[in-house]
Homo-oligomer: A and B are copies of this chain.
Amino acid sequence: MTFQPPAPLLPPQRILMGPGPSDVPASVLQAMARPIVGHLDPFFLRVMDESRDMLREVLGTTNTLTFPMSGTGSAGMETCIVNLVEPGDRVLVAVHGVFGGRMAEVARRAGAEVVTSESSWGRAVDVDALRAAAGGEAFDLVCVVHAETSTGVLQPLAPLRALADDLGALLVVDAVTSLAGVAINLDEQGVDAVYSGTQKCLSCPPGLAPVSFSPRAVERLERRKTPVQSWYLDLSLIARYWGGERAYHHTAPIQMIYALHESLRLVLTEGLAARQARHERVGAALCAGLQALGLKPLVPPEERLPMLTTVAVPDGVDEAAVRRKLLTTLNLEIGGGLGPMKGRAWRIGTMGSSATIANVLLCLEGLRAALSLGASDAAAAALAAYAE
């Protein structure tokens, strides 16, 4: 019996308001459909240079070692850890959600001696508790998540930088969800290593993980006594491809880098400050509307992420059924809770191209209908907050 191949794909046109991926602009999708060239083609080398320049601008850095890794955000996390950790190194991880926990796990697998301090999920890191966990001893790395996608919390970096200084450590930051949505300014904030993803506020499809290392982090790389445990993620090898030498390491994902190039172009054409302000206003509109519906955002206003709002599921509501209803009736995706918040929270993303007031109004109306709530002034509340 001959195998019958399936029909060509005709994906539905969704509106993506989950925790990522976000909606992708048409010009980014079209960039992927442009002709492929070789990974050492002079044209592609220019694409690499331009992408790196734009990435530095968006990250707020002059770091030489700045480029996208050929994997998703989690590959970026692993890149930062395995390149900076040698067996027995001491790593302090602030855990206040799923992704902090993941950093600790990745560091353990890299042979680090890991100390964690768990703060309340849904709140910023308790830096005093983290300092106490460090016990006055020296550390090699302090790791923190800038925007916890599992809880919706924005973490101020200054107190972590101060703690890292006191411990003699480098500061490693997860900026998967924050990049291009809130200010990051690597150099100003003194971040030593950062990783991100493409499918959040950059509004590029998932598949690449931008990373950037400060000169101090590069120095640490160069002083290693043991090889990086991952050949695929070894920055000392990959930097020779992204640098002047253009030495082959692995075949770069050409089409994904076309998409990143176009998405960075759109970010910088909009303007980084304007894009961040848009995220701020749209996030505020969503929260105001949710509250007008009688729903409760889980994070206090001063610690909330503008691009990802977690909201409590009302008692007795089947949260998955609500999400299914939004998807089937409105083609609208929102996210469920992760880890201990599973079944108890929704995660509503307003990231990149998905961050529009129209999407917010649709989402509010959809939730009102799915939850069979009565008439409300949620739309008016959202519009008022958006206009502020």
Interface residue ranges, A against B (CB under 8 Å): 3, 5-6, 8-14, 16, 18, 20-21, 23-24, 27, 29-39, 41-43, 47, 50, 53-54, 57, 70-75, 77-78, 102, 105-106, 108-110, 197, 199, 205-207, 227-232, 248-256, 258-259, 261-262, 264-265, 268-269, 327, 333, 338
| Chain B: minimal CB distance from A47 (Å) | 6
Kindly list chain B residues whose C-beta atoms are within 8 Å of the C-beta of A29: 32-36, 255
Given A71-B70, A71-B75, A199–B251 Cβ distance below 8 Å?
yes
Given contacts A37-B333, A41-B327, A109-B229, 12 further A-B contacts (CB under 8 A): A6-B261, A6-B265, A11-B35, A11-B37, A11-B258, A70-B72, A71-B75, A77-B232, A78-B231, A108-B227, A110-B229, A206-B254
Decide if A205 touches B21 in the complex (CB within 8 Å).
no
Given A6-B265, A38-B18, A258-B11, A105–B231 Cβ distance below 8 Å?
yes
Kindly list chain B residues whose C-beta atoms are within 8 Å of the C-beta of A50: 6
| A9 in complex: contacting residue of B77, B248, B261, CB < 8 Å | B261
> In the bound complex, what is the Cα–Cα distance between A236 and B278 (angstroms)?
40
Name the residue in A38, A77, A205 with the highest tally of chain B Cβ atoms < 10 Å from its Cβ.
A38
Main secondary structure of the interface of A (DSSP, over half): loop
Kindly list chain B residues whose C-beta atoms are within 8 Å of the C-beta of A20: 251
Given A232-B78, A264-B5, A11–B43 Cβ distance below 8 Å?
yes
Kindly list chain B residues whose C-beta atoms are within 8 Å of the C-beta of A37: 11-12, 14, 16, 333
Complex copy number for this chain? 2
Kindly list chain B residues whose C-beta atoms are within 8 Å of the C-beta of A72: 70, 250-253
> In the bound complex, what is the Cα–Cα distance between A21 and B254 (angstroms)?
9
Closest chain B residue, CB of each to CB of A51: B6
Closest chain B residue, CB of each to CB of A27: B8
The 3 closest A-B pairs by CB, nearest first: A207-B253, A32-B32, A33-B33
Decide if B250 touches A207 in the complex (CB within 8 Å).
no
| Chain B: minimal CB distance from A101 (Å) | 11
Given A255-B32, A256-B207, A38–B13 Cβ distance below 8 Å?
no
